[in-house]
Chain A
Amino acid sequence: MSNTKMILGLFADPDEMMHGIDKLQKNSVPIYDVYTPMPIHGIEDKLGIKESRLGYAAFCFGCLGGSIIFSILYYTLVHDWPMNIGGKPHFAMPNFVPFTFEWTILWTAFGMVFSFFFATHLFPGRAPRVMDLRATDDMFVIAIDAKGNIPHDDITKILQEAGAVEVKHNDRKYVSYE
């Protein structure tokens, strides 16, 4: 048994890469993931990637932020230390709107960014997970999990026929910036 963990097909052209995906799918080879230096229209549908759940996270963070500031406002201005401000009632709802609005937006935005960092293992100071550095530059990379996908030579052949400029058999899943 070889030590190959990942098979990477490197394509110089996005159309050839899409063709490569088609060929692999025709031969029932499961694709682990595809890495491209730019967004490619229609690739999510082709790979059957589930819709992002980031929106739900954003919604929950928004609700959380809105509730927190509303509670703080209620506790400070209505419950703990009610003050007479311009003769308005203590529990004056219109006053609460700008704060609640701003905190909802703030928490939605930050919550979304941090959820994204968390889900994609990106964070300032952390080595990013990359399978091939050129996927961030000029190469379109199809990654195939080598375990269970044998024989490896057939996969190599499919990728080369589809127009891969290079096929790599990697022993490590990720190369990281040293």
Chain B
Amino acid sequence: MKTEYSFNERFEFAGKAKTWSLIGIVIGVLGILYGFFLDHGELGVQRTFSNLLLMGYYFACVCIAGVFFLAYQYAAQAGWSVAFLRIPQAFARVLPIAAIVLVLIVVAGLFTTHNVVENGKTFVTPYLYANWATHGVTTPGSENYDAIIAGKSAVLSIPSFLGAIIIFLAAYTFFGWMLVKYSESEDELGGMSNYSKSFKISLIFLVVFGFTYPVFAFDGIMSLEAHWFSTMFGWYNLAALHVAGLSVITLILILAHQSGYFPWVTQNHIHSLGKLMFGFSIFWTYVWFAQFFLTWYANMPEESVYFYKRWEPEYKWWFWLNIVLNFCAPLFLLMSRDAKRYYSRMVMVCIILIIGHWLDYYLMIFPGTLPPHETAFPFGVEEITIFIGFAGLFTFLVLNALSKFKSLVPSKHPFVEESLHHQI
């Protein structure tokens, strides 16, 4: 087994990866322009906003998953992952940009309004979070007054909503930035002090993250349908974030390894990542089913309305496809030991899960933001182009962040030797 590697090699961001990610960004921008200006008026704008929220949230979640991965690896004092810790660190470096993009989308969606005609009456509502952000919803006597929303106005009002989103994203960004900083200073100085600091800050992050992330998901996504509520929603989103983040880490790692970087990464590292992806896909299904099952069993109208909407003809097919992509595919494709050690199989599952979790977020957002029955098949140009655009943006920023590191492995990490000899 080869154990001597040069750690001084840097990641060079050029060539095909750069060209294609820039082309992706251009496609995304064109898609957004098309959606806002060319795609038949109101509905097109609404759809574009929903897509932007979807991808902005997905983008932020994958970057947060990088910080989360770093934190629990440090907290568990894990050695195996050191070999590719630079990839989640690159995610953590991109998180500030992802956070700004998400906040911009949310603010734009909250403060641009349009007229909606419902039951013969015209309402002036914002494009996103219309359920609770419409003017007068919480003012008694207003014709828009909604007693249920008024009862939730402590959380669902623009100042506390934006405040929570911004504070949470800033906190996650701060912890990610600290973890990367400690790792870089460890490369300079060596010794255990930076490792101990990383360990401590990881524990603090995990506590903060565990308590705030469900609220982040409640605010960001669940409040699109503000009459509905589910206590499982936060964990359900956490599971989705984790699986999506792991898939992206694995995909980047395998592709970089195959193009000559990370020569020290072996099947064993990919196998361990595969086990995490497999396990957390099962966990995702567990929370998904728990949320569905309790709603189905209790059958209370205010809860089952969520699934009612998703069982309308235009979404029902996607609803079941979600389970096939995010549960059946990893279950059967990754069950055996050998499957997790084949790079081609792992790449395939990563792509399936990345698309699958796009669909998962799609089903959380679209039935609540698009007016029902207006489009027979709410999938088309905007969905594809904006996905490609954000994928390009993410690839560009992450690979750019990766190329800034002086070495592709934290070479003075106390567990670096253990990671190079990782064998399972």
Q: Which residues of chain A have a CB within 8 Å of any CB of chain B?
A: 41-42, 51, 55, 59, 86-88, 94-95, 97-98
Which residue of chain A lies nearest to B299 when distances are taken between CB atoms in the complex?
A: A86
Given A55-B336, A97-B289, decide whether A41 and B297 contact each other with a Cβ distance below 8 A. Answer: no
Tell whether B412 is near chain A: CB-to-CB under 8 Å: no
Q: Interface size for chain B: under 10, 10 to 19, 20 to 34, or 35 or more residues? A: 10 to 19
CB distance from A19 to the nearest CB of B (A): 16
Given A42-B1, A42-B423, A51-B337, decide whether A86 and B297 contact each other with a Cβ distance below 8 A. Answer: yes
Which residues of chain B come closer than 8 Å to A41, judged between CB atoms? Answer: 421, 423
Which residues of chain A come closer than 8 Å to B289, judged between CB atoms? Answer: 94, 97
A94 contacts B293, C-beta separation under 8 Å:
yes
> In the bound complex, how far is the Cα of B335 from the Cα of A87, in angstroms?
38
> In the bound complex, how far is the Cα of B1 from the Cα of A110, in angstroms?
37
Q: What are 9 A-B pairs at a CB distance below 8 A?
A: A41-B423, A42-B423, A86-B297, A87-B299, A94-B289, A94-B292, A94-B296, A94-B297, A98-B293
> In the bound complex, how far is the Cα of B336 from the Cα of A94, in angstroms?
27
Given A41-B421, A42-B1, decide whether A55 and B293 contact each other with a Cβ distance below 8 A. Answer: no
Which residues of chain A come closer than 8 Å to B423, judged between CB atoms? Answer: 41-42
> In the bound complex, how far is the Cα of B395 from the Cα of A107, in angstroms?
44
CB distance from A128 to the nearest CB of B (A): 26
A97 contacts B293, C-beta separation under 8 Å:
yes
CB distance from A85 to the nearest CB of B (A): 9
Which residue of chain B lies nearest to A59 when distances are taken between CB atoms in the complex?
A: B335
Which residue of chain A lies nearest to B336 when distances are taken between CB atoms in the complex?
A: A55
Which residues of chain A come closer than 8 Å to B1, judged between CB atoms? Answer: 42
Which residues of chain A come closer than 8 Å to B337, judged between CB atoms? Answer: 51, 55
> In the bound complex, how far is the Cα of B336 from the Cα of A98, in angstroms?
24
> In the bound complex, how far is the Cα of B1 from the Cα of A59, in angstroms?
33
CB distance from A18 to the nearest CB of B (A): 13
> In the bound complex, how far is the Cα of B224 from the Cα of A50, in angstroms?
55
CB distance from A100 to the nearest CB of B (A): 12
> In the bound complex, how far is the Cα of B294 from the Cα of A98, in angstroms?
12
> In the bound complex, how far is the Cα of B337 from the Cα of A97, in angstroms?
26
> In the bound complex, how far is the Cα of B1 from the Cα of A88, in angstroms?
60
> In the bound complex, how far is the Cα of B292 from the Cα of A55, in angstroms?
31
Mask of B293-337 contacts with A, CB within 8 angstroms, 1/0: 100110100000000000000000000000000000000000111
Which residue of chain B lies nearest to A85 when distances are taken between CB atoms in the complex?
A: B297
Mask of B330-353 contacts with A, CB within 8 angstroms, 1/0: 000001110000000000000000
> In the bound complex, how far is the Cα of B299 from the Cα of A88, in angstroms?
10
Q: Which of B297, B299, B421 gathers most chain A CB within 10 Å? A: B297
Q: Give 7 closest A-B pairs by Cβ, nearest first.
A: A41-B423, A94-B293, A94-B296, A97-B289, A55-B337, A42-B423, A41-B421
Which residues of chain A come closer than 8 Å to B335, judged between CB atoms? Answer: 59
Which residues of chain A come closer than 8 Å to B336, judged between CB atoms? Answer: 55
> In the bound complex, how far is the Cα of B296 from the Cα of A98, in angstroms?
14
CB distance from A126 to the nearest CB of B (A): 30
